[in-house]
Chains A and B, each alone.
Chain A
Amino acid sequence: MNGEKLWKIFQQQDADRDSVDLVNIEPRAAMSRRTFIELIGFSAAAAALAGCRAPEQKIIPFITQPMAEFTPGVGLFYASTCGGCSASCGALVKVRDGRPIKLEGNDLHPLTGGGLCAVAHAMVFELYDSDRLRQPMRGSQAATWDEVDAEIKKQLDGIKQNGGKVRVLTSTITSPTTLAVIEKFLTQFTDGKHITYDAVSTAAIRKAHLKTHGREAIPSYKFDAAKLIVSFGADFLGTWIAPVEFTRGYSQARNLRDGRHEMSRHIQFESRLTLAGSNADRRVKVSPAEEIESLLLLAKLVAAKTGQQAPAEIASFNPTNLNPRLQQVVEQTANELVKLKGASLVVSGANDTDAQVVVNFINNALGNYGATVDLNAPSAQKQGDDEAMAELVREMNAGEVKALIISGVNPAYDHFARNEFTSGFAKVPLKISLNPTRDETSANADFICPQSHFLESWNDAEPRRGTFSLSQPTIAPLFQTRAYQESLLRWSGDERNFYNVLREHWKENIFAKDANFDELWDKSLESGAYTIERTAAAQPAFASSDVGNAATRLKTRAMTLAGKLTVALYEKILMRDGAHANNPWLQELPDPITKITWDNYASVSPALAEKLQLEEGSVVRVSNGATTIELPAHIQTGQHDDVIAIAVGYGRTHAGKAGNNIGANAYPFVSFDNGTFQYLANGASIEKTGAKIEFASTQRHHTLDGRPIIKEFTLAEFISGHAGEGERERQSQSIWKDHAYGEHKWGMVVDLNACTGCSACILSCQAENNVPVVGREEVRRQREMHWIRLDRYFEGDGETTKVVYQPVMCAQCDNASCESVCPVLATVHSSEGLNMQVYNRCVGTRYCANNCAYKVRRFNWFDYPHDDEIANLALNPDVTVRTRGVMEKCTFCVQRIEEKKILARNEGRAIRDGEIQTACQQSCPAQAITFGDLVDQESRANHLKHDERDYILLPELNLRPAISYLAKVRNTEEA
């Protein structure tokens, strides 16, 4: 190390109290990677060391880590809020040597607990995305902030004097302070308006509640309190509103560990196979028309059975498209719901106000408001107003809008009528984009004022009323970017920085007036969350006046949909609306249902595929009206024959080097109808083009073929004790002596009943362990590198598709078949039961991988690129980056084990159970993974190993793996 050089930089920095001018340095050209990292490390180290840079912005690490104890090489955790989507989950940011390197779940957060989703884990990569803009832009010219601010202010002043419409178009903002900043900015103008636009909108729920309860709000849904969940196509475990929070609640209500014998029941009516549907106890495959009629029939039956007054349109409803079997299913569902009045929950994923009105009617009839649906603590997680967006497009085209400022939205890509949007956009005299990249919309803006990444900025969030969290910057901005709030403040003539605005807002509006502000602020910053306890209030009254009309319209809609081929648009849990398309971690994360990476596709049912003579990967042309796109077909069991399911979020043209031209853009299929965006396009046609591609899929065989890999029981079987039957583990018959374990023997239990397949573990592992991305071609060759994979098996025929998920990673076997075959002892057993891979000893014979029964070993076929010096900053310094030709695999996060062992030793104590958490375990929203010391008889892992559902994979091989699984239980009996 070049100590002298470091010291100089540090002194310099200390002297002029400014961060080293990182942004003007072209890292590739001007400096070596090492110097760059040193600079990054020291600029942030300085920030942490009593704030050499910006003393007034104190950021506070999680729990108790006094500032003076900043130690290079030791990770610090800062509580923050994930900015990956509008769900605003609580997160901890792990900062190593001044670099944020990982997001983890914050278990002090009241909504999400310790959970995070896959997208959140990928956000670190986005911070170090070298495709981000590095300075403000005037058109396509680089500019400085002073220049840009001066020009924008001048033009805005012109509008102030002459009048004219100023519009701020943003995605959902859960931050109360930011909303105040926007409001303040807009008050300067005679006609200023803030419009919220979500590419994938749930505006219908808000509109429906305005109609039925007089409140335009999305209620909070309590999946933990619901004993029966009936979902009509809502993928609440995958993408709907706040999936992490819902998964957490859902799995809590279905937890069968620790002697519990009760679990909630989940019935899903849906036309395509969603993540939520794949977890349902009863999944009813329906066409879109049948889904509507089932909902109406359910409303009728529930009203009748609860004695609720129902409008005539519902009371007299007679389904025309429901076959007797479906009618019977709906009847059974109604019976079950009525039995669990006040402890059930009906949700619908349709962005159709009428459907949501009927859902509200059912929930109201069941007395679920106040129990499982709460309008007094509404969610702010989806605020998109589809009507306002439509109005904006009209105004722009009419030339009425004088200035448009966009932030976090990309309508030139994801608006259904993007041509209309762009033509209107072109007519706006002042177009300012606050997006971080030169995306489809920003490319046509007059100014791009790139916002800092959320890991570089201050912010707050109120995802649900009364539940607040804070974001703190964990690194100085890498580039010349600025928080978008700060841009708006400048243009409002407010020279304060956003940090001060934030504190003042909290002082004025959030904390109680008499509270000790600094103490409360520090505490909130430290824990990441602040909750205002509200006294219970009655739910707003239900008004049934609109239900009848809604039912009538729904009936018509069902008639138009019936028997027609429908394009159903959806978000993939990894790609979501496409904003993060340039993130290779997300692109390479296999979809939990299809297991396909790096593509979107037209999912068709096996019957439809047979009819059209499609094979997996046959390219089809899907048309609806003027919209035609070509996509490869994917044959999806469990999907209804009337539906072609296509994921949005693909087909980006200005995403960046990883995300451009991956898949095709399906947003043009969206329509605007009845005040909301419709994600079903009926009357579609599909034809085969004759071309064929091969998917980059990580799993090619989808059934168990009778192999006892997954153990599954019905709840009744479980209660009557069948889960404990059958072979558990054989007695050792080895000629070798057993391993003698001293202090520790690490082990893991994975609860298959909790795992929903959300795939967050895969990306958590990828971020923690520097797992390389290999690209589409290599995944096609089946060489993906993920250390933990999520096996997904389909069971049953096409009518009743059952899905099971099984996370599989290295099982750290006692009788490890890999260890005995390695000629050079590159994989050996540790004294703590770990199967260790010694990278620098490995010569790469691949014998170990061949002989691994679980096939969890991954080989470095090539030198995977590490030439993007900015992206390399996301690497975890605790984990070696592997070279070509060596084998790698899950290590049980040995670096985390060692970290805690050192900590415990320094503190002179034993390691506490649960103190060590593997990366996959840490942020599992369903808490499906338990890790611990099996020598410790009292450990949680040991305790679960004695659960009656505990079983090991492939027991006949006598490998004695350290991972066991808890059998899946389905609540299939009618309650």
Chain B
Amino acid sequence: MAVAVKHTEDLAHEATHPVVSPLRKPLIEGHKTYGDVTTDICNLLDRRAGAGWWIAFSVSFVLMVAGIIATAHTVSTGIGTWGLNKTVGWAFDITNFVFWIGIGHAGTFISAILFLFNQKWRTSVNRSAEAMTIIAVMCAGIFPVIHMGRPWLFYWILPYPNNRGSLWVNFRSPLVWDFFAISTYFTISLVFWYLGLVPDLATARDRTISKLRRGFYKVLSLGWNGSNRTWSRYETVYLVLAALATPLVLSVHSIVSFDFATSLIPGWHSTIFPPYFVAGAVFSGFAMVMTLMILVRKLMRLEDYITVQHLENMCKVTLLTGSIVSLAYLTEVFIGFYSGNPNEMFVIVNRVLGPYSWAYWTMVTCNAIVPQLFWFKRVRTSVPLIFVLSILVNVGMWFERFVIIVTSLHRDFLPSSWAMYMPTITEITIMLGSFGLFFTLFLLFLRIFPVISMNEVKGVLHYARR
């Protein structure tokens, strides 16, 4: 009977709001009304979590705890618990750092750049993508601290007034630039995300049945009253913040790439790194957004909001950035030989054919070859395939950082110091722990905050309809 009613409502909706665009398809499916949107999203918060959520949360939490134990072991015993040596001073630590920073980029790209470009489809995914950004930056931020030999002194890389003869930091060091870039990025992302949340938090405040939640949302929604004046100011600030966040998409990963580009190690010392890293970051970030969105729409039954069309759009971005990354790979090889520098040539040959060639070819397969499948619409619209491919892309992007860091370091100028690197259980556990942390926080986000930006979705509800 209910089905029949729903069907009748849909027919009525179709009658009042027919699809009028010959080119565009509606962004939100299921003939949602404004009320439907509010109910659908807010009810997620009050409903008990399903079995799927609990399973995912348990696994993530266990991984996170394992990671915490491994980190505690490292901090209490020494970096010697890792597989590093006199020649390879960075490996899993900085690989994970760059990987997580890269993941974050898609969120900012979606929420800021696509906002400025008026891409309406972003509304369904931007909230989760931004949350992903913040969580990913948190995961990333752990690694520069714990990779230090004396992490309890990490604050020494901050330029704060001190009584050590006013000892300043080294402003020539890319690690200091990293600190500025990442802290700025984190702050802006957090503020931007939070600001976008305020109207929806007010909605949640007004609807929730739990007193505790109401109090929580009341505080966070900052007394939002939905007046015209509030809305007008809100949108101005949101636009300004979007404009501020946009350059960060380019700058943060450019600066991260300076860690390598400004060094003298062949394989690191390369001017192509800033654009190459930014493209790679957006590439991996979109892949991660796709992985998460497929999980979210399944777990939270949001198929009407996060549609195949959204996924298809993201596949296209992935295809573009993946192709840029592939071009960068080819350019690296070309420049390696074109430079005439024997050290550069050696690095390329060593990457492609050396002892870590398996990592290089994993990277090439996952990042350059696999995304080319997105040229086919049937692939772009098949949710299971997208899920698998998006994970492969992230595997490839993790290996890209590993290849850059380890294959460049392990054989540099003097053959006498060449070495091999193999990770230890501790390092692997810390890496898995960072994934645990990421998913734990993301799953908590799904339960606490409105997953989809209700106020923005309502604005595009009639997209392509009358």
Nearest-neighbour CB distance to chain B for A773, whole angstroms, equals 14
Could you tell me which residues of chain A, from 839 to 855, have a CB within 8 Å of some CB in chain B? 841-847, 849-851, 853-855
Asked whether, in the complex, the Cβ of A885 is within 8 Å of the Cβ of B263, the reply is: no
A857 to B173 Cα, complex, angstroms: 18
Cross-interface CB contact of B173 among A781, A784, A847, A884, cutoff 8 Å:
A847
Is B231 in the interface zone, CB < 8 Å from A? no
Contacts of B174 in A (CB 8 A): 821
From B35-43, B102-110, B145-153, the one touching the partner chain is B145-153
Chain B 341-362, CB within 8 Å of chain A: the 1/0 string?
0100010000000000000000
Known: A781-B85, A847-B89, A885-B148. A863 touches B414 (CB 8 A): no
A704 at interface, CB cutoff 8 A: yes
Contact with A along B163-174 (1 / 0, CB 8 A): 000011110111
Binds B, one of A263-271, A714-722, A789-797: A789-797
Cβ–Cβ contact A855 & B80, under 8 A: no
In angstroms, Cα B420 to Cα A863, docked, is 23
- By the criterion CB–CB under 8 Å, are A823 and B157 in contact? yes
A808 contacts B by Cβ under 8 Å: yes
Q: Which residues of B contact A841 (CB under 8 A)?
A: 156, 167
Please report the C-alpha to C-alpha distance between residue A791 and residue B87 in the assembled complex, in whole angstroms: 14
Q: Which of A355-363, A695-703, A962-970 contacts B (4 or more CB under 8 A)?
A: A695-703
Assuming the contacts A821-B174, A823-B170, A824-B156, asked whether A886 and B150 have C-beta atoms less than 8 A apart, the reply is: yes
Question: Are B418 and A701 touching (Cβ within 8 A)?
Answer: yes
Please judge, given known A-B contacts A821-B174, A842-B150, A853-B264, whether A793 and B89 are in contact too, CB under 8 Å.
no
Tell whether, in the assembled complex, residue A853 and residue B149 are in contact, meaning their CB atoms are under 8 Å apart.
no
Q: A residues within 8 A CB of B338?
A: none
Determine whether B83 belongs to the interface, using a CB cutoff of 8 Å to chain A.
yes
For the complex, count residues of A whose C-beta is within 8 A of B: 56
CB distance from B329 to the nearest CB of A (A): 23
Q: Tell me if B210 is interfacial: C-beta within 8 Å of chain A.
A: no
B149-A843 in contact (CB<8A): yes
In contact, A793 and B84 (Cβ under 8 angstroms)? no
Please tell me if the beta carbons of A885 and B169 are within 8 angstroms of each other in the complex.
no
Among A705, A822, A824, the one with the most B-chain Cβ atoms within 10 Å of its Cβ is A824
| Residue of B150, B151, B409 contacting most chain A CB atoms (<10 Å) | B150
Inter-chain contact B83/A808, CB cutoff 8 Å: no
Judged by a CB distance under 8 angstroms, whether A957 is at the interface is: yes
CB A815 to nearest CB in B, in angstroms, measures 10
Q: Nearest CB to that of A821 among chain B residues?
A: B173
Residues of B contacting A858 in the complex (Cβ-Cβ under 8 angstroms) = 86
- Check B335 for interface membership: any CB of A closer than 8 A: no
Q: How far is the CA of A700 from the CA of B416 in the complex (A)?
A: 7
Chain A contact surface mostly: loop
CB-CB < 8 A to A885: which residues of B? 78-79, 148-150
Q: A783 CA to B149 CA in the complex, in Å?
A: 15
Interchain CB contact under 8 A, B414 and A846: no
Q: Is the CB of B263 within 8 A of A855?
A: no
Q: Is the CB–CB distance between A822 and B154 below 8 Å?
A: no
A559 to B156, CA, bound (A): 73
- What is the bound-complex CA distance between A821 and B175, given in angstroms? 7
Q: Does B176 contact A (CB under 8 A)?
A: yes
Does A861 touch B at the CB level, under 8 Å? yes
Q: Report the minimum CB–CB distance from B356 to chain A (whole Å).
A: 15
B-chain residues with CB within 8 Å of residue A842 when the two chains form the complex: 149-150
Chain B residues lying within 8 Å of A825, measured Cβ to Cβ, are: 167-170
Is B419 part of the contact surface with A, judged by Cβ < 8 Å? yes
Q: State which residues 756-774 of A face B: CB under 8 Å.
A: none
Answer whether residue A860 sits at the interface, using C-beta atoms and an 8 A cutoff.
Answer: yes
The residues of B that contact A613 with a CB separation of less than 8 Å are none
A844 B150 Cβ-Cβ under 8 A:
yes
Contact A793 B157, CB 8 Å, known A844-B79, A846-B84, A885-B150: no
* Residue from B263, B411, B415, B417 in contact with A851 in the complex, judged by beta carbons closer than 8 Å: B263
A residues less than 8 Å from B419 (CB atoms): 700, 782
Do residues A817 and B86 form an inter-chain contact, with CB atoms below 8 A?
Answer: no
Give the CA-CA distance A843 to B263 in the complex, in Å: 19
Whether B413 sits at the interface, judged by CB under 8 Å, is yes
Q: Is A534 an interface residue (CB 8 A)?
A: no
B265 close to chain A: CB less than 8 A: yes
List chain A residues, Cβ under 8 A from B167: 825, 841
- Indicate whether B16 reaches chain A with its CB closer than 8 angstroms: no
Contact A700 B418, beta carbon cutoff 8 Å: yes
CB-CB < 8 A to A884: which residues of B?
78, 80, 149-150
Whether B264 and A855, one on each chain, are in contact in the complex, defined by CB atoms closer than 8 angstroms, is no
In Å, the complex CA distance between A77 and B87 comes to 38
- The answer on a CB contact under 8 Å between B414 and A782 is no
Q: Contact check: which of B86, B156, B175, B415 meets A704 at CB < 8 Å?
A: B415
Task: Give every chain B residue within 8 A of A847 (Cβ-Cβ).
Answer: 89-90, 173, 175, 259
Interface residues of A in 534-592 (CB under 8 A from B): none
Q: Is the CB of B87 within 8 A of A824?
A: no
Closest to A858 in B: B86
Taking CB atoms, residues of chain B closer than 8 Å to A781 are 83, 85
Set A699, A702, A806, A824: member contacting B157, Cβ < 8 A: A824
Give the A-binding residues of B (Cβ under 8 A). Answer: 77-80, 83-87, 89-90, 144, 147-151, 153-154, 156-157, 167-170, 172-176, 179, 259, 262-265, 342, 346, 409, 411-420
Listed from nearest, the 6 A-B pairs whose CB atoms lie closest are A844-B149, A885-B149, A861-B80, A846-B89, A791-B416, A855-B417
- What are 12 sample pairs from A and B whose C-beta atoms fall under 8 A apart? A792-B416, A793-B416, A823-B169, A824-B157, A843-B156, A845-B148, A846-B147, A850-B90, A851-B263, A861-B84, A862-B78, A885-B79
